[in-house]
Structure 1
C-alpha cells in the first residue's frame, strides 16, 4: 500500500511541476492509453470498460479543444481534427467498433509524435 501512495505522490508531483508542453504530451499519452484500454474492452466484450475509456479519450480531446488559442489560424485546423476524432469515438462507442478505435489511435499517436518533435525543436531554439 505504501508503494501506491509513493507512486501517487510522485505522479502528482510530476504533473504539478510539468510545463504546459509536458502536460499536453501527458494528455496525448493518456488518450492513447485509454484508447488501447477501450480496444481491449471490445476484445473482452466488456461494454462498460469500452464505454468508460472512450469517454476518457473524448474528455481529453475536449480539453484540447477548449484550450486552443484561436488567435492563430492553425487552431481551426486542430479544432476540425478534434471534432472528427470525437465523431469517430462516438461512432466507435455506439457500434463497439475496434477498427474505428484503431484509426483514432493512429491519429493520436501521430499527433503525440509530432508534439514531441515540436517540443524538441523548441528546446533546441531556447
Structure 2
C-alpha cells in the first residue's frame, strides 16, 4: 500500500512540472493508447472494455476541447475538429467499426505529432526559468 501511495505522489509531481504543451502531448498519447486498446478489444469481442476505452478517449478529447482559448482562429478550427472526433468515436463505438477507429487513431496521432513538434519549437525559443 505504501508503494502505491509513493507511485501516485511521484506521478502527480511529474505532471505538475510539465509545461502546458507537454500536458497536451501527454493527453494525445493517452487518447491514442485508449483507442489502440479499443481496436484490440473490439477484435477480441470484449465490447464492454472497448466501450470504456472509447469513453476515456472521448473524455480526453473533451478536455482538450475545453482547454482551447477561443480568441485564436486555430482554436475555432480545433473546436470543430474535436467535435468531429468526439462524434465519430461514439459512432465507432456503437457500430464496433474497427476501420473508423483506426482512421480516428491516425488523425489523433497526426495531431499528437503536430503538437509535439510545435512544443519542441516553442521550448527551443523560450528561455528556461530556474
| TM-score where L is the length of structure 1 | 0.92
Asked if residue 111 in structure 1 is aligned to residue 108 in structure 2, the reply is: no
Q: Which residue is equivalent to 1:87?
A: 87
Match of 1:37 in 2: 37
2: distance between equivalents of 1:13 and 1:115? 23
TM superposition shift of 1:10: 2.4
Q: Structure 1 residue 53 and structure 2 residue 74: aligned?
A: no
- How many aligned positions are there? 126
1:124 is matched with which residue? 124
Q: What does residue 18 of structure 2 align with? A: 18
The CA deviation at 1:13 is 1.6
Q: Distance in 2 between matches of 1:55 and 1:65?
A: 15
**Unaligned segments of structure 2, at least 5 residues:** none
d(CA) in 2 for partners of 1:3, 1:35: 29
Unpaired segments ≥5 residues, structure 1: none
Cα RMSD between the aligned structures?
A: 1.4
1:115 to partner: Cα distance: 0.5
The change in CA–CA distance for 1:3 and 1:43 in structure 2 (over 3 A counts) is farther
